[in-house]
Amino acid sequence: MLNTLPLKKLLITAFIAAGAVPCLHAQNPGGYFNQAENLFKTKNYYEASQVFEKYLATEKNSRPRSTPFAIEKKVKGKTNIDPHQEAVYQLAESYRMINDFKKAEKYYKESVGFSEKAYPAARYWYAVTLRANGNYPEALIQITAFLEKYTLMDDLLIGADREMEDLRFIQLQSERVNDQFTLKEMKGKDPASGYALARRGNDSVVFTAIREEKSKTGEKWYMNTLFESLDSENPLMGSKQMDIPTGTGVHDGMATFSHDGKTMFFTRWTKENNQTISVIYMSHFGDDGWSQPVKAPAPLNEDGSNSAQPYLTSDGRYLLFSSDRPGGSGGYDLWVSSLDSSLEPVLVRNLGNVINSGGDEEAPYFHDKTRTLVFSSNGRVGMGGFDIFYAKGNFNLSSWEKPENAGAPMNSSKDDLYYVGTDEDDVWNTGWVSSDRSSECCLALFAVKENNSQYVNGTVVDCKTRQPLSNVVLTVTDLRHPGRVLGTYNADTAGRYAVELHNSAHFKITAARLEYETASMDYNLKTHPGKDSLVNETICLKQIEYPEKEIKKLLKSLEQSSHVGNFAYKEAVLNYYTLDKLDSLAGILKKYPRMVILVEGYTDGIGGVKYNLALARRRVDACIRYLRIKGVPANQLKGKAMGKCCPIAPEKINGKDNPAGREMNRRVEYKVIKH
């Protein structure tokens, strides 16, 4: 197809980031022109763009072919080449090849005013850059004008027909409400961005990023490498480069891991003679870290062909990958290899022409529970560039449904690749995707959430009377992440409640009310895109019954142990003994929610009345605050500062100070005032 492969684009990105521009000594315009032309011929597009810009900035007049720096080309319609026009067109081409569509659009726009015989593809590529930059109405005008005049049956005509279909698809997407997904770009400091995220076990994620390297002389260049992070909310924060043995000029990207996270397949690529050579490698994790990577055995890699972007299914039985080996449908196809119990490849086969098109299919991902294959393609009708597609099927039967486009906003007019889901039940509920929609050159990582809303409605009643209960507090927690509270709600006077959830298929509702036993229920829902409502079964709460004998026994024990603890001189800090007593008291109060206690604080006799009342209040507050932290409701707790009014031990004996007595008087006590 006419689009460049993202792996190639990533390599170009590295050179762009490095600012690898040829040394430009002062020279005449012709020297710049020839230098840029040679760079363009050798596919050094970024460097060529910089020299073409220099040429256009210094030229004074367009010169005919007979000038010393004109190029000799035998191209129909170019009997007298205008160097200015040639520079403008090749500059547009250079920017397009490095995916800088903004700058490419500027020069293609100028190129459409040149001879159509000399530059027959100018209007086509102008339309492509307009579409890539989001100017869909003008892109439609330009591609229509191109099709009206262009009659050759070649790749340009086929590409123009596809471009027209893409623009019609974009129009349909714009006419609907594109709110099925929410995408949030992830940004970091070092690295600033990443792409192609993969999960390694349950604890970490791995992604590809570009890192800077420097020589001793200060020369800079940039390489793609793998980073690992424990932060599932934003992997770019707190990530570290993986310590994988490598060599000079070697790029690493898109990894996939065995279930235990100790075997890794990944893409390793180099650039030779301006050609990208990509191979699937393997490494194993042991006591000394990652082993020296080795080429994955045949038939995953085939001499003379590229293999890249591996994905290992969760059961370890299949490895998906992209390759341009013979036997495919187009450029890069998706292939699958059966693996034995040691993860050794057994047999490789093409996924077939239902999945593969005449273009490139890349970045495969398989969602096990829904049996959904997700991949990217530039050979099908879509938003432009690479789009995310999906199809359900079965590896054993080699049977796949017709792929569908995931639509906007999952897809954009730029390249969208490397989707991976993070919800084991729903392929789209939450996940990650890589896209260059917000960049002139580079892929960035986006967190994806499907806009699902579940409204769970129900009623809380008394189990015995079946009458609705008000003042019930309902707490919703995530079953997959114990302790994560999704929301707190209150039942109304008729006992009714309504819980709103987003992207939460597994949750627990806990209902609590004073004088009733707490009740909880677990839920496992099948979420659907958009909004959905569920009428929940009635939750009943059982009223707590207090046997008279038990209450009398409890009250008697409380009277015997009403002392809470003592305090240091002038202090209101709870000691370990006091905390232990308060823990026991909290348990009793939560078991009997009708009970109310009065916490009283005392001091010794040193100091004035006002000072000691304030100190006693601080001691009471410290006890009540701790009981509240332990879950005792405020309406069960009363407090009173008593000060130095009521000593229980003499503070002087025979006229001498009695420190032990004063310590006993610095105390907190409680008594039951309601039950």
443: helix, strand or coil: coil
Separation between Cα atoms, residue 451 and residue 508, nearest integer Å: 21
CB 47 within 8 A of CB 39: yes
Separation between Cα atoms, residue 257 and residue 604, nearest integer Å: 68
CB 537 within 8 A of CB 458: yes
pLDDT at 301: 94
CB 338 within 8 A of CB 317: yes
Q: Could you give the domains of the chain?
A: 6-175 (1.25.40.10), 181-450 (2.120.10), 452-541 (2.60.40.10), 548-674 (3.30.1330.60)
Residue 421 sits at the vertex; the CA angle it makes with 419 and 427, to the nearest 5 degrees, is 110
| pLDDT tens digits, one per residue of 321-343 | 999 999 888 789 999 999 999 99
pLDDT at 252: 95
Tokens at 416, concatenated: 């969208």
**Three-state secondary structure along 389-441?**
EEEEEECCCCEECCCEECCCCCCCCCCEEEEEECCCCCCCCEEEEEECCCCCC
pLDDT at 176: 67
| Residue 317: CB atoms within 10 Å | 17
| pLDDT tens digits, one per residue of 249-273 | 899 999 999 999 999 999 999 987 7
Cα-to-chain-centroid distance, residue 524: 24
Element (H or E) spanning 347, and its range? Answer: strand 345-350
Separation between Cα atoms, residue 192 and residue 237, nearest integer Å: 9
Closest to 279 in 3D by CA, of 292, 267, 271:
267
Peptide bond into 293 cis (omega under 30): no
| Residue 154: CB atoms within 10 Å | 11
The whole model's pTM is what? 0.66
**Which regions of the chain are under pLDDT 50?**
1-5, 7-21, 61-75, 77
Q: What are phi and psi of 380, to 5 degrees?
A: -130, 165
361: helix, strand or coil: strand
